[in-house]
A and B are shown apart, each in its own frame.
Chain A
Amino acid sequence: MATVATPITQEYAGGTIARAQVGLWRDGFRRLRRNRLALAALIYLTVLLAVAILAIFWTPYNPATILPDTLTYLGPSGAHPLGTDDLGRDLLSRMMQGAQISLIVGVGTSAIVLGVGVVVGLIAGYFRGWIDNVISVFINIFYGIPGILIAIILYLVLGRGLGNIMIAISATAWMDMARLVRGQAFSIREREYIEAARASGARSGKILFGHILPNALGPIIVQATFVIPIAILTEAFLSYLGLGIPSPLASWGSIASEGYQALPLEPYMMLWPAVALSVTLLAFNFLGDGLRDAFDPRQRR
C-alpha cells in the first residue's frame, strides 16, 4: 500500500530560481559577437587605438623631421612603407600621428557631448515643466542650423587648437544627445520602479542618476558612438581647408590637403588619409549599428 511521504519541507517558500539566466550586458555582448561586421569594426578600431598609443612613444621617424636627403614624393619602399610627402617627411609616421589626433578629437568630443547632453536631457525629461520648456525652445532654435557651419564659425572665433576643435564640434552635437536622453527620461519616469523609488524616499538626484540613467544607457552609448565619426570627419574637413590642426602636426585631413597638390605626381599622399578616414568612419558606424541592435530591448526574448 502506498504511503504518504513527509510533507514538503522547502526551506524557502519562495522556491529556487527557475533558471539562472545570463546578465543583461552579457546577453547584449553575445548578440554583438554574432554581428560579423561590428566585430570586424571592433577589431580594426582596437588595432588603430594600439597604433595611436604606440605613436606616443615611438614612430619609425619623427613625423616633423624633414629628411636631409630630400627624398620627396617617394612611393612605398622598404625604408618608408607609406612613402614620403612633399617635404620628404615619412608618411607612415605622420599617419600614425594623424591617428592620434583623430581618436583624441573623436573620443574627446563624444565625452563632452555625453557630459553636457546627458545632464541637460535628464533634467528636461524628468522635471518637465518650465525647465523643459526653456531647454526645448533653446534646442529647437538651434536645431535647424547646420552643425558644421556653427562649428566652423565657433572655431574661427576661438582660434586654432585641438581643444577648441572639440569645443566647437560639441557645441551643437550635445543637442542631439540631449534630445535623445530627454525622450528616454520621459518614458522611463513613467515606469513603476520609479514610482517605487519615490515611495521609498529617493531624492530626485538619486532617481535621475541611480535609476533613469542606468536604464537609458543603451541608446546613449550608441549615440555617443555615432558622435565620434562625425567629430573625426569635421576635424579632417577643417584641417583639409587649412583651418584645423596647425603644422607641423599631422592630421589626416592636413595630409590629404598637402597631398591634393601632388595628386597627378604621387597619388599615395592623398590615398592613405582617404582610406584611413573612410575605413575608420565606417568602422565606427558599423560598431554603432551593432551596438544598437545588440542592446535593443525589443529583441530580447
Chain B
Amino acid sequence: MTDPILDVRNLSTHFFTDDGEVKAVRGVSFNVARGETVGIVGESGCGKSVTAMSVLGLVQRPGKVVNGEIMFKGRDLLKLTKEELRNIRGRDIAMIFQDPLSSMNPVLRVGYQIEEAMHAHNKIADAQIDARTIDLLKQVRVSDPERRVHDFPHQFSGGMRQRAMIAMGLSNKPDLLIADEPTTALDVTVQAQILELLRDLNEQTGAAIVLITHNLGVVAGLCKRVIVMYAGEIVEEGTVEQIFESPQHPYTWSLLRSVPRIDASRRERLLSIEGLPPDLIELPVGCKFNPRCPFRIERCFVDAPPTEEVAPMQRAACWVTMKTAYAEMGAADIKDTSPGAASGVHPRGRQALPEAEVTATVAESVGD
C-alpha cells in the first residue's frame, strides 16, 4: 500500500496480572490508507480493543506494549514522549468509545466539552471555535444545535450523545478516527443512523475510520476492508467482498454461518462453533483456533500457520484454507452469495438438501 496513514507492525501487548501473563495481542500487523474505512472484527477477548488502545497509548497497568512499531505519518507512536503523544491524541487521531455517557463529564455543558477539545490542541483559531462547535453539531445531525450547545450530557439521548462524541472527535480535523464499538449500546434504529453518519463523514472529511466491532452486519455496511481477529492474532484480512463472499479462514467462514440473517429465506440451523476461545495465559501450541476448527489437520496442532496471501489483497493464517476444504468436499463454487446458502455445505461433508425437497418442506410449514 502506498504511504498508509497508519502502519502497525508486529504489535504485541501483554497484561501482567496476578494470575499470569495474559498475551492479549500477539504480532498484529496491519495498515490503514488515507480516507479508508477498515473494520476490525472479532469476539470478546480477541484483542481488538486492546489493539486500538495500544495505538493511542491508552493501555493501563498491568498492561504493557511489549513489542512492535506503530507508524503514524512517519513517526513511531511507541517511541514518542507522553507530551508528543498527547498532542497527537485528539488532534490527529481521535477515538470514540462504546458508552458515551461515561465518556463525557456530566457536570459540564456539551458545547463546552467540544470546545475544550479544540482549545487543547490549538489547531483551530480561538475566534472560530464557537462557530465551529455549532457547525460540528450540525454536521453530526444534532437538531437545533444553537440551543443544544448549552445542554448537559444527561439531557441528550444515547444516540445524540454518541453524535456529540463524534463531533468532539472530528473537531480538530483528524486524519484518523478510531471507533470502538460505537453503536453496541444503542438501539438498532439509532445504530443505523450513526453508521450512516460515519459513512457520510468519511466521504466529506476524508478522515480514515477504523471501526472495531463484533457485529458483522455493521462492518458489511460501513467498511471497505476487514480484519478478522481471534485470540490476539489477525487470522484473516481482505476487502469486504472477499471476506463475506469467499472467506478463507475457517473461523471467518464459521462466524458468517453462525449469525442469523434477517433475509435468510429458510430457517436453517445455525452453525455453532463448539467450545471456547483459548486461555491467553497458557496458549496452546499450533494454530489457536485448532480445537474448535471443523477443518483441522494434524499440522494445526503443532505449527502455528503464518499469514499468507490467498488472493490479491486477501491474507489468511491457515494451513488448510477454505479453498482446499471445498476442493476436498467437492463443492463447486466458493463464491456463494445468496442468502441462505450459508449452511449449504457442511464441514462434515454432507451436501445441501436438493432444491426440490427444500421447497416442498417449506411449503408445508408455512401452513400455520
Residues of A within 8 A of B (CB): 2-5, 7-8, 10, 13, 15-16, 18-19, 301
How far, in Å, is A129 (CB) from chain B's closest CB? 31
Report the Cα distance A287→B281, complex, angstroms. Answer: 34
How far, in Å, is A17 (CB) from chain B's closest CB? 9
Residue with the highest number of chain B CB atoms closer than 10 Å, among A4, A7, A10? A4
Q: Scan B3-31; emit 1 where CB is below 8 A from any A CB, else 0.
A: 00000000000000111000000000000
B308 in the interface, Cβ–Cβ < 8 Å?
no
> Quick one: which of B319-352 are within 8 Å of A by CB?
319-320, 324-325, 328-329, 347-349
B187 in the interface, Cβ–Cβ < 8 Å?
no
How far, in Å, is A169 (CB) from chain B's closest CB? 41
Closest partner residue, chain A, to B325 (CB atom): A4
Other 17 A-B pairs with CB < 8 A, given A4-B325, A5-B298, A16-B276: A2-B319, A3-B297, A3-B328, A4-B295, A4-B320, A4-B328, A4-B349, A5-B295, A7-B347, A8-B291, A8-B292, A13-B272, A13-B274, A18-B279, A19-B19, A19-B281, A301-B18
A15 and B275 form a contact (CB under 8 A): yes
Q: Could you give 30 example pairs across A and B, Cβ below 8 Å? A: A2-B297, A2-B299, A2-B319, A3-B297, A3-B328, A4-B320, A4-B325, A4-B329, A5-B295, A5-B296, A5-B297, A5-B298, A7-B348, A8-B291, A8-B292, A10-B274, A10-B275, A13-B272, A13-B274, A15-B275, A15-B276, A16-B276, A18-B276, A18-B279, A19-B19, A19-B279, A19-B281, A301-B17, A301-B18, A301-B19
> Within 8 Å CB of A3, what residues of B?
297, 328
Report the Cα distance A10→B19, complex, angstroms. Answer: 27
Secondary structure at the B interface, as helix, strand, loop or mixed, is loop
Closest partner residue, chain A, to B324 (CB atom): A2
> Within 8 Å CB of A13, what residues of B?
272, 274
Closest partner residue, chain B, to A22 (CB atom): B19
B contacts with A, residue count (CB < 8 A) = 26
Secondary structure at the A interface, as helix, strand, loop or mixed, is loop
A15 and B279 form a contact (CB under 8 A): no
Report the Cα distance A10→B290, complex, angstroms. Answer: 13
> Within 8 Å CB of A15, what residues of B?
274-276
How far, in Å, is B266 (CB) from chain A's closest CB? 23
> Within 8 Å CB of A16, what residues of B?
276
Residue with the highest number of chain A CB atoms closer than 10 Å, among B17, B272, B324? B324
How far, in Å, is A15 (CB) from chain B's closest CB? 4
Closest partner residue, chain B, to A7 (CB atom): B348
> Within 8 Å CB of B275, what residues of A?
8, 10, 15
B294 in the interface, Cβ–Cβ < 8 Å?
yes
Closest partner residue, chain A, to B275 (CB atom): A15
> Within 8 Å CB of B347, what residues of A?
7
Which 7 A-B pairs give the minimum distances between C-beta atoms?
A: A15-B275, A15-B276, A7-B348, A2-B297, A10-B274, A4-B328, A5-B297
- Residue of A2, A10, A301 near B320 (CB, 8 A) is A2
Closest partner residue, chain A, to B281 (CB atom): A19
How far, in Å, is B258 (CB) from chain A's closest CB? 13
Q: Scan B192-235; emit 1 where CB is below 8 A from any A CB, else 0.
A: 00000000000000000000000000000000000000000000
Closest partner residue, chain A, to B278 (CB atom): A18
How far, in Å, is B238 (CB) from chain A's closest CB? 22
Report the Cα distance A10→B18, complex, angstroms. Answer: 31
Report the Cα distance A30→B17, complex, angstroms. Answer: 15
> Within 8 Å CB of A18, what residues of B?
276, 279
Q: Scan B47-91; emit 1 where CB is below 8 A from any A CB, else 0.
A: 000000000000000000000000000000000000000000000
> Within 8 Å CB of A7, what residues of B?
294, 347-348
How far, in Å, is B16 (CB) from chain A's closest CB? 13
A8 and B279 form a contact (CB under 8 A): no
> Within 8 Å CB of A4, what residues of B?
295, 297, 320, 325, 328-329, 349
A8 and B294 form a contact (CB under 8 A): yes
> Within 8 Å CB of A8, what residues of B?
274-275, 291-292, 294
Report the Cα distance A2→B322, complex, angstroms. Answer: 12
How far, in Å, is A12 (CB) from chain B's closest CB? 9
> Quick one: which of B295-319 are within 8 Å of A by CB?
295-299, 319
> Within 8 Å CB of B296, what residues of A?
5
How far, in Å, is B274 (CB) from chain A's closest CB? 5
> Within 8 Å CB of B291, what residues of A?
8
Report the Cα distance A15→B276, complex, angstroms. Answer: 7
> Within 8 Å CB of B17, what residues of A?
301
Report the Cα distance A16→B292, complex, angstroms. Answer: 12
Report the Cα distance A4→B272, complex, angstroms. Answer: 19
> Within 8 Å CB of B274, what residues of A?
8, 10, 13, 15
Q: Scan B277-292; emit 1 where CB is below 8 A from any A CB, else 0.
A: 0010100000000011
Report the Cα distance A295→B1, complex, angstroms. Answer: 54
Report the Cα distance A16→B276, complex, angstroms. Answer: 8
Residue with the highest number of chain A CB atoms closer than 10 Å, among B275, B297, B329, B349? B275
> Within 8 Å CB of B281, what residues of A?
19
> Within 8 Å CB of A301, what residues of B?
17-19
Report the Cα distance A301→B18, complex, angstroms. Answer: 9
Report the Cα distance A5→B19, complex, angstroms. Answer: 34
Report the Cα distance A4→B293, complex, angstroms. Answer: 11
How far, in Å, is B292 (CB) from chain A's closest CB? 7
Closest partner residue, chain A, to B273 (CB atom): A8
Report the Cα distance A8→B292, complex, angstroms. Answer: 7
How far, in Å, is B17 (CB) from chain A's closest CB? 7
How far, in Å, is B263 (CB) from chain A's closest CB? 28
How far, in Å, is B4 (CB) from chain A's closest CB? 34
Closest partner residue, chain A, to B321 (CB atom): A2
Closest partner residue, chain A, to B347 (CB atom): A7
Report the Cα distance A19→B272, complex, angstroms. Answer: 22
Report the Cα distance A106→B349, complex, angstroms. Answer: 74
Q: Scan B224-259; emit 1 where CB is below 8 A from any A CB, else 0.
A: 000000000000000000000000000000000000
Report the Cα distance A18→B294, complex, angstroms. Answer: 20
Report the Cα distance A7→B297, complex, angstroms. Answer: 10
How far, in Å, is B346 (CB) from chain A's closest CB? 9
